[in-house]
Amino acid sequence: MGMTRRQFIKRTAALTAASLVGVELPKIEKAAQAADVEEWHPGVCRFCGVGCRVYLGLKKGKPVAIKGIPESATNKGYLCMKGMLFYRIIHHPERLTKPLYRERKDQPFREISWEEALRIAARKFAETVVKYGPDATAYYGSGQALTEETYLFQKIMRGGLGTNNVEGNPRLCMASAVGGYLTSFGADEPIGSYADIEKAYCFFIIGSNMAECHPVIFRRVMNRKFAKPNEVKVINADPRVSPTSRIADLHLQFRPGTDLALLNAMAYVIIEEGLYDQEFIQKYCKFKIGKPPKDVTFEEYKEFLKQYTPERAAEICGGNITPEKIRTAARWFATSKATMSLWTMGINQRSRGVWANNLIHNLHLLTGQLCKPGADSFSLTGQPNACGGVREGGGLCHILPAHRPVKIDKLRHQVEDLWGIPRGTIPPKPGYHTIAMFRAVNQGKIKALWVNCTSPAQSLPNCDFYRKGLAREDLFLVVTDIFPTKTTELANLVLPTAFHFEKTGVYGCTERRSQLTVKVVDPPREAKPEVWIVREWALRMAEEFERLGDRRRAENLRICVKPFLGKEEGYELPKAIWEEYTQKLTKGRDNDLSGATYEVLKQRPDGVQWPAPTKEHALKGGTYKKFVRGIDPLAEEEGRKLGISGPYVFYGPAHKDHKLYLWLRPYKGAAEEPDAEYPFYLSTGRVIDHWHTSSMTGRIPELLRANPYAYVEINPKDAARLGIKPNDMVEIETRRGKIVLPAKVYEGPIQGMVFIYWHDMAEERMANRVTKDAFDPGSKEPEFKICACRIRKVSGPRPLKPYVVGHKI
């Protein structure tokens, strides 16, 4: 070609510039998508919790494109690269398409029929229950499963087998947010919506790299900031300067885990400078301390905060925090026309995650920055259906559908009655939470485990430890998924499932919005929707229990699946499940979705935000802001019932006094802080290009290329001290193990901290082999974000290969 690379690039640049001045452009290829597409079908993105609406484009029945829906209330047409490209997964040649089985884990898998697979799964679970009791079985699900799937799985486990060993990966990402909402507001999930973004004047983004983890919502925040650059303030609080910091007016960079001191200090300034809203506090709030909670006065709260003067907090927080920065942040927060806080895993994945959530809520309660347009305390969800399926649908060990705690007799009996099974079938004791569940696997207490649509072998903290349990020969492990993963490698039975748009169901995103995606293509070969798999498994289990002489369980299982018998699996079956869940289980609860039938969801392109107790309300889109009279029908109704006047009614089921609680929560460090032996903080997170364990995004060439492997980010000062140069190979060692990664030297992480992406599946780079499995005592969410490590250079740059289980790169 006779052109050097440099010349080529210069030439390309020149061509691009030429287009500016009307010089003829090089010939452009034929239109990429719209021209090729024959039909567009609406649905929701398969990945993060933003809930972007998409059109899937088909040509001759084959998915060939995706585009954003411009009228969408959520994404207004925008998509990030993951959303734009996920159609490539649908017909990917590496999809799992046949049930695979091996009796022993040291044997190779062999293909078997569905009938055989379902019989094996049914026999193993039934025999385990009869021999070891129901708590020797467990289900571990996902915030990516459809609501119908999570609901049916937990119904079978609880109502059929009689165990609360029902968990899901949202425990690893959202549990602390749930704990924070319940203890501060008495009700789970945000009060406001994304629509507040365009009405906010101050954004307090803490512990969240929104630019990469919630790109489309970040874009809305960015647009708001650019629309009113002087009026709108953005505060970004994070130990790491990230792409999110690029729109910040103020970056508060603190030592990992010290944000509890920072948040208390902001409250101190708000009170000291008289910036609080006395009327809001008096009317709606109470001050609380300890467990069991005790009432305290405003004066006692003030006294408590004296430990957190900005001067003292700046010392604790370290980094570039100064007392003046804390004061500025507090003033902007309190005095803006409307303040919206946004946070994700930096706050949640901590041994004091619930407290950190409480302290953010405290700032909103003190200042009355709540319930009015643009003001909200808004936690961002990681997965597309962590809120809908798992939090609302009963996918965690301590909650039944529609926010009913398992241990409350009345609510548990309600569920039993609604399902038509005898009272006493569902045990009152919550099951194992995630870490306890996998510890029980390690101890041999769980003998049969079903993992659906998630890969704990890679996503659990300290995962080597838990992989030992998953590899035990006496554990029968079923995995339902669309691709091979680190977890299918340890399974006995791998069942191929249908992917998005190959089945019908609902995702509920961050802002209480439920959106329906209808099946438009068939799953490949023998892959099946999970709802079909569960129903058929339950029916065969009933036969097994009969054979084993447990008539009661056989009968309960049959009752549980009876409403779904004979239904076609692509649409009718999930519809029947959604109907049961919404009409029977959510009716009268705070997440009332009974107005949001499939018919309504099909008519409502943007879906419905709960509460939506009637079809009329659902057809208008549901509730943009909870607790506000005139907007939220339940606020109206409950206010009337309870005789509460005024614009807001806090009817959250967890606070019988209908008050919001301001909590006195002291600063407490991480479970494992750096010391002489392990002097660095290690933190982990995501990149925009990859979705969680990258079993899907790793198979899309553009996304794999964009971030083919994890690397470790090191502050230049630390790198210089340790003689580490960019791309050198660096060993990260914690008390749990070692990994080796290329170094990226840049001013992202604060000095004394290193940061790793966790999507990489290659053994030598897999972040969770070294992270810590300490967890929050309240939410049981693990502290992925902080542990202690040491680092050392092991070699200069080395060529590396990306690795995805079963992917032919």
Partner 1 sequence: MKMRLGLLAVGLLALVFSCAPQKTPGPQVGKKPAVAHPELSPQEKLIACSDCHRTETPEIYREWYQSRHGIAMVKCFQCHGTFETFHQPTRETCRTCHAKAYDNCPKDKVCWECHTPHAFKRHQ
The distance from CA 737 to its chain's CA centroid, rounded to whole angstroms, is: 26
What's the token pair of residue 206? Answer: 């803490």
Q: Does 346 contact partner 1 by CB under 8 A?
A: no
User: Which is nearer to partner 1, 137 or 242 (by Cβ)?
Assistant: 242
Site for partner 1 in 721-740 (CB under 8 A): none
User: Which is nearer to partner 1, 444 or 701 (by Cβ)?
Assistant: 701
Q: Least CB distance from residue 699 to partner 1, whole Å? A: 13
| Residue 82 annotated as part of some ligand binding site | yes
User: Which is nearer to ligand SF4, 83 or 802 (by Cβ)?
Assistant: 83
Compute how many other C-beta atoms are within 10 angstroms of the C-beta atom of residue 269: 23
User: Which is nearer to ligand SF4, 479 or 696 (by Cβ)?
Assistant: 696
Indicate which single residue of 141, 168, 186, 215 sits in contact with partner 1 (rule: CB under 8 A).
215
Of the candidates 239, 203, 204, 202, which has an alpha carbon nearest to the alpha carbon of residue 320?
Answer: 239
Of the candidates 716, 689, 705, which has an alpha carbon nearest to the alpha carbon of residue 802?
Answer: 705
Backbone angles phi, psi at 379, to 5 degrees: -85, 135
| Residue 686 annotated as part of some ligand binding site | yes
Backbone angles phi, psi at 804, to 5 degrees: -135, 130
CA–CA gap between residue 109 and residue 102 (Å, rounded): 5
| Residue 583 annotated as part of some ligand binding site | no
User: Which is nearer to partner 1, 788 or 800 (by Cβ)?
Assistant: 800
Q: Which residues bind ligand SF4 (CB under 6 A)?
A: 45, 47-48, 50-52, 75, 79-80, 82-83, 215-216
- For residues 145 and 389, is the Cβ–Cβ distance under 8 A? yes
Site for partner 1 in 227-266 (CB under 8 A): 243, 246-247
User: Contact region for partner 1 (CB under 8 A) — 279-287, 479-487, 654-662, 703-711?
Assistant: 703-711
How many residues are there in the chain? 809
Q: Least CB distance from residue 691 to ligand SF4, whole Å? A: 7
List Cα–Cα distances, 375 to 191, 201, 203, 264, in angstroms: 10, 9, 9, 20
The bridge status of strand 100-101 relative to strand 505-509 is unpaired
The type of residue at 564 is: F
From ligand SF4, partner 1, none, interface partner of 113 (C-beta below 5 to 8 A by class):
none
Report H helices in 170-258: 175-185, 210-213, 215-227
List Cα–Cα distances, 568 to 80, 244, 332, 361, 711, in angstroms: 34, 46, 56, 46, 47
User: Which is nearer to ligand SF4, 162 or 215 (by Cβ)?
Assistant: 215
Compute how many other C-beta atoms are within 10 angstroms of the C-beta atom of residue 476: 24
User: Contact region for partner 1 (CB under 8 A) — 173-181, 523-531, 633-641, 701-709?
Assistant: 701-709
- For residues 733 and 789, is the Cβ–Cβ distance under 8 A? yes
Q: Least CB distance from residue 44 to partner 1, whole Å? A: 17
Q: Does 8 contact partner 1 by CB under 8 A?
A: yes
Indicate which single residue of 46, 219, 575, 692 sits in contact with partner 1 (rule: CB under 8 A).
219
User: Contact region for partner 1 (CB under 8 A) — 10-18, 480-488, 604-612, 637-645?
Assistant: 10-18
DSSP 31-59: PSSTTT-SEEEEEE-SSSTT--EEEEEEE
Q: Least CB distance from residue 210 to partner 1, whole Å? A: 10
From ligand SF4, partner 1, none, interface partner of 13 (C-beta below 5 to 8 A by class):
partner 1
Q: Least CB distance from residue 408 to partner 1, whole Å? A: 45
- For residues 56 and 36, is the Cβ–Cβ distance under 8 A? no
| Residue 692 annotated as part of some ligand binding site | yes
User: Which is nearer to ligand SF4, 170 or 595 (by Cβ)?
Assistant: 170
Buried b (16+ CB within 10 A) or exposed e, 37-46: beebbbbbbb
CA–CA gap between residue 732 and residue 730 (Å, rounded): 6
User: Which is nearer to partner 1, 28 or 676 (by Cβ)?
Assistant: 28
From ligand SF4, partner 1, none, interface partner of 36 (C-beta below 5 to 8 A by class):
partner 1
Compute how many other C-beta atoms are within 10 angstroms of the C-beta atom of residue 20: 7
CA–CA gap between residue 82 and residue 95 (Å, rounded): 18
User: Which is nearer to partner 1, 211 or 397 (by Cβ)?
Assistant: 211
User: Contact region for partner 1 (CB under 8 A) — 67-75, 152-160, 282-290, 389-397?
Assistant: 67-75
Indicate which single residue of 58, 80, 317, 491 sits in contact with partner 1 (rule: CB under 8 A).
80
- For residues 534 and 137, is the Cβ–Cβ distance under 8 A? no
Binding residues for [4Fe-4S] cluster: 45, 48, 52, 80
Residue ranges binding partner 1 (CB under 8 A) = 1, 3-6, 8-13, 15-17, 19-20, 22, 25-36, 64-68, 70, 77-81, 84-85, 87-88, 211-212, 215, 218-219, 222-223, 226, 243, 246-247, 688-689, 701-702, 705-709, 799-800, 802
